[in-house]
């Protein structure tokens, strides 16, 4: 048979490989049948197959790569990168020789074993994997069943650290897929009697388990396979070390966090129990005289842009669903029967819990996981935590600045913001807004009244005295606001300048102070400075826009339109406006001078007024020559007809898009306002209003989280709201239950 001569009729490389594979299978089957029947033509068939393999070694190697082996360089005389599997993974032939003996797969014994398994109904890939695993197990037995030679340990410990894979992350996905296929077979084989891998540890000084190596390498699929077959590995820790360097015992999730393996860390966090995750990110007050910070800083994870999925997973674990009348789960069980009974009941619970406990302590804690308040051991009395560092930013503040949209919209974050906002946030922001409105009134009256006097430095009569009082109050409040901004600068440091609103803060306040020396020196520039001071200080009022939901959402939508559409429009408008204005001015010089356009400034002003007021350039066109008329018509058509209509269309689209993200930006604004209040000296709001957590029912969740929007029906019933909140929470609870097995 020479099927390789007919491969031209196949349209794709995949079809070509399928044809070669079928040819090999057919030849192998005939070869085995002839041997069993004692057919004398067996040697001829074997030679035919060998000849075909030699002629098409390039295609055969690609077949081998596609059906389960590694791909990359062709093994004998193929070109670089000429074979790709379905995922595009490429591994060189030299890697294959280090992992498994390639010549074994070429041997007659290998193909006979594969064919035997395939004849029992196994797919081609599965049959090859099982034969390869059997060889690994056989080598393990030959070596005396040494723990250091355990096949699973070799695959997870030595293969990723080999020279072919070390510092080559692009090759690791292919290795992970191969190891996972082998490991699934091993966990169901004679190597794992009584689920021995659940207790198996490396014999070196660290005593790592297979899950430790998988988590450290970032192998997500292998991690899932191990937890499914050996769930006890989740809580297995390494050996504590004292020499040469002191190291504490570590869980697999801790190795994943240290290695910044986001997906693996997120999966392990969700698979753990709520209490175990809380211990990782909370302080350790065992010795109250010298309490230790948390093992891991949640703030550091939030700041790391590589760990966004882990942040969401930790937030998921801060929601503890509650089902009544269930036995309490334990860290350790007296017997296997007790564990099986309690855990079995928990696996049969319904998807919708009656209520949830939302844990806020970690979000409100400092960098070391220390909460603002602690419960005293002698009772339920709550006292301020003397170890709490109030200067540290809260995790809530860092989430607001992390650009992690999924974390910002998490129910725990939204409920904590709602709680703080109702308890003190809205009141203090309303108070600040009222005080700032008074400041603007005093500022406006003092400057406007002073502008009506010949000499604003002279104070005679009741009106002048009232004006002087307003000026003193204005200056005192300006100094107060400057001290507040300096306090924020001291706390936030460089991140303070990332907010564009700080520009209006400082410009407005400094310009108010600049009016004083200019006024007492009689400088007319005081009125220019005063006009700018009024403008910038009134612009600061948008800083308090989130005092109500309506103004907050509207302001955020308006800011998005200005930022995206008006800036682009102005850039294009200036590029068109300046050349047209210059050309029009020069063309007018060749004719009689138009009285309305006597200078270049008049041309610029007329062009802007034509855009804003929709009026003609000039009232009299009699002095315009043909070129001037043509330029004016071109300008009016380009700007007023084309650009202006494009702007209107863009603003409509942006408005629809901005509405979708306005709520998210409004929540960010509220978080920043809350954290700014909490850092205000003497108020101590973060400690005073601290709340470790709260029980929340479905109905309360629906009332708080399902806020009115145009996308929702304003006449929505309570049952419809409950169904919506159940769908949202069910996704999170179901995901945690699945990953816990």
| Identity of the highest mean pLDDT range in 144-148, 466-470, 706-710 | 466-470
Mean per-residue pLDDT, 401-430: 89
**For residue 174, what pLDDT is reported?**
87
Cα 700 to its chain centre, rounded Å, is 28
213 burial via Cβ count (<10 Å: 0-12, 13-18, 19+): buried
Q: Are 104 and 110 in contact (CB under 8 A)?
A: yes
Q: Are 316 and 736 in contact (CB under 8 A)?
A: yes
- Token representation of residue 596: 């309305």
- The tens digit of pLDDT for each residue in 647-688 reads 888 888 887 777 777 778 888 888 888 888 888 777 888 888
Q: What ranges do the domains of the chain cover? A: 146-268, 438-544, 552-679
3-state SS of 589-622 is CCCCCCHHHCCHHHHHHHHHHHHHHCCCCCCCCC
| Identity of the highest mean pLDDT range in 316-325, 689-698, 726-735 | 689-698
Which 3 state secondary structure label does DSSP give 719? helix
Q: Are 78 and 57 in contact (CB under 8 A)?
A: yes
- Higher per-residue confidence, 324 vs 233: 233
Q: In what order do the strands lie in the sheet with 319-322?
A: 319-322, 355-359, 693-697
**For residue 380, what pLDDT is reported?**
64
Element (H, E) at 695: strand 693-697
Where does 552-679 sit in CATH, by number?
A: 1.10.287
**For residue 148, what pLDDT is reported?**
56
Which of the 8 DSSP states describes residue 641? Answer: I
Question: Cα–Cα–Cα angle for 574, 576, 581, nearest 5°?
Answer: 90
Q: Determine if the peptide bond prior to 244 is cis (ω within 30°).
A: yes
Give the architecture-level CATH label for domain 146-268. Alpha Horseshoe (1.25)
- The tens digit of pLDDT for each residue in 579-623 reads 888 888 888 776 655 556 777 787 788 878 777 776 777 776 777
Count of other CB atoms within 10 angstroms of residue 464? 15
Phi and psi of 342, rounded to 5°? -70, -45
- The tens digit of pLDDT for each residue in 9-47 reads 444 555 554 555 555 555 555 554 554 455 444 444 444
**For residue 265, what pLDDT is reported?**
94
| Token pair 């059906």: residue | 67
- Residues forming beta bridges with residue 694, ordered by sequence position: 358
**For residue 183, what pLDDT is reported?**
87
**583-602 burial by CB neighbour count: b if 16+ within 10 A, else e?**
bbbebbeeeeebeebeeeeb
Mean per-residue pLDDT, 716-729: 59
What CA–CA distance (Å, rounded) separates 410 from 701? 12
- Token representation of residue 32: 């085995």
**For residue 730, what pLDDT is reported?**
63
* pLDDT band for position 65 (cuts 50, 70, 90): very low
Q: Compute CA distances 336 → 114, 327, 576, whole Å.
A: 40, 16, 81
**For residue 331, what pLDDT is reported?**
63
Q: Are 249 and 290 in contact (CB under 8 A)?
A: no
Percent above pLDDT 70 for the chain? 72
CA atoms 532, 534, 536, 539: torsion sign: negative
Mean per-residue pLDDT, 322-331: 62
Selection from 156, 166, 85 nearest residue 125 by Cα: 85
């Amino acid at each position: 048979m020479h099927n390789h001569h007919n491969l031209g009729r196949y349209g794709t490389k995949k079809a070509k490989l399928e044809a070669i594979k079928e040819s090999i299978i057919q030849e192998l089957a005939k070869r085995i049948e002839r041997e069993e029947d004692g057919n004398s033509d067996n040697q001829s068939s074997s030679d035919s197959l060998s000849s075909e393999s030699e002629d098409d070694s390039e295609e055969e190697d690609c077949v081998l790569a596609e059906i389960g082996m590694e791909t990359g360089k062709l093994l004998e005389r193929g070109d670089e990168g000429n074979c790709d599997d379905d995922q595009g993974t490429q591994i060189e032939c030299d890697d294959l020789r280090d992992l498994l003996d390639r010549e074994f797969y070429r041997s007659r014994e290998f193909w006979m074993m594969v064919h035997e398994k395939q004849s029992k109904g196994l797919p081609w890939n599965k049959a090859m994997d099982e034969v390869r695993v059997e060889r690994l197990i056989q080598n393990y037995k030959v070596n005396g069943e040494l723990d250091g030679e355990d096949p699973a340990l070799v695959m997870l410990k030595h293969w990723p650290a080999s020279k072919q894979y070390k510092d080559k992350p692009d090759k690791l996905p292919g290795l992970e897929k191969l190891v996972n296929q082998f490991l699934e077979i091993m966990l169901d084989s004679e190597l794992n009697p009584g689920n021995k891998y659940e207790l198996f540890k490396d014999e070196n000084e660290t005593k790592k388990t297979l899950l430790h190596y998988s988590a450290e390498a970032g192998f997500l699929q292998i991690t899932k396979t191990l937890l499914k077959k050996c769930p006890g590995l989740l809580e297995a820790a390494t050996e504590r070390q004292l020499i040469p360097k002191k190291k504490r015992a570590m869980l697999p999730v801790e190795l994943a966090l240290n290695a910044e393996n986001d997906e693996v860390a997120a999966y392990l966090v969700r698979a753990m129990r709520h209490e175990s995750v809380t211990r990782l990110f909370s302080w350790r007050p065992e010795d109250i005289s010298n309490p230790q910070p948390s093992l891991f800083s949640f703030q550091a994870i939030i700041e790391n842009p590589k760990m966004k999925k882990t942040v969401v997973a930790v937030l998921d674990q801060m929601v503890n669903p509650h089902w009544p009348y269930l036995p309490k789960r334990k860290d350790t069980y007296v017997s296997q029967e007790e564990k099986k009974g309690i855990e079995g009941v928990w696996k049969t619970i319904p998807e919708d819990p009656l209520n949830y406990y939302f844990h806020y302590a970690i979000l409100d804690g400092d960098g070391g996981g220390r909460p603002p308040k602690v419960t005293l051991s002698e009772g339920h009395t709550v006292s301020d935590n003397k170890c709490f560092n109030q200067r540290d930013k809260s995790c809530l503040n860092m989430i607001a600045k992390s650009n992690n949209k999924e974390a910002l919209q998490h129910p725990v974050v939204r409920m904590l913001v709602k709680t703080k906002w109702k308890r003190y946030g809205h009141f203090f922001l309303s108070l600040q807004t009222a005080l700032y409105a008074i400041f603007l009134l005093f500022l406006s009256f003092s400057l406007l009244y002073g502008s009506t006097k010949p000499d604003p430095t002279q104070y005679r009569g009741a009106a002048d005295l009232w004006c002087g009082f307003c000026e003193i109050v204005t200056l005192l409040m300006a100094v107060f606001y400057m001290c507040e901004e300096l306090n924020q600068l001291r706390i936030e440091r460089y991140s303070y300048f990332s907010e564009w609103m700080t520009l209006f803060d400082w410009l407005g306040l400094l310009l108010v102070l600049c009016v004083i020396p200019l006024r007492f020196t009689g400088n007319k520039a005081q009125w220019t400075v005063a006009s700018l001071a009024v403008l910038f200080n009134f612009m600061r009022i948008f800083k308090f826009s989130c005092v109500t939901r309506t103004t907050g959402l509207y302001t955020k939508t308006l800011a998005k339109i200005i930022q995206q559409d008006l800036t682009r429009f102005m850039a294009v408008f200036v590029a068109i406006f300046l050349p047209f204005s210059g050309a029009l001015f020069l063309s007018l010089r060749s004719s009689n001078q138009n009285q309305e356009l006597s200078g270049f400034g008049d041309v610029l002003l007329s062009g802007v007024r034509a855009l804003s007021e929709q009026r003609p350039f000039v009232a009299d066109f009699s002095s315009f020559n043909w070129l001037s008329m043509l330029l004016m018509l071109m300008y009016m058509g380009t700007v007023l007809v084309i650009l202006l209509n494009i702007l209107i269309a863009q603003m409509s689209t942006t408005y629809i898009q901005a509405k979708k993200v306005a709520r998210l930006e409004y929540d960010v604004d509220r978080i920043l306002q809350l954290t700014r209040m909490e850092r205000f000296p003497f108020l101590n709001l973060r400690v005073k209003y601290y709340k470790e957590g709260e029980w929340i029912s479905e109905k309360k969740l629906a009332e708080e989280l399902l806020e009115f929007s145009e996308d929702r029906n304003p006449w929505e019933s309570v049952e419809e709201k409950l169904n919506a909140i159940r769908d949202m929470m069910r996704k999170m609870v179901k995901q945690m239950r699945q990953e816990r097995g």
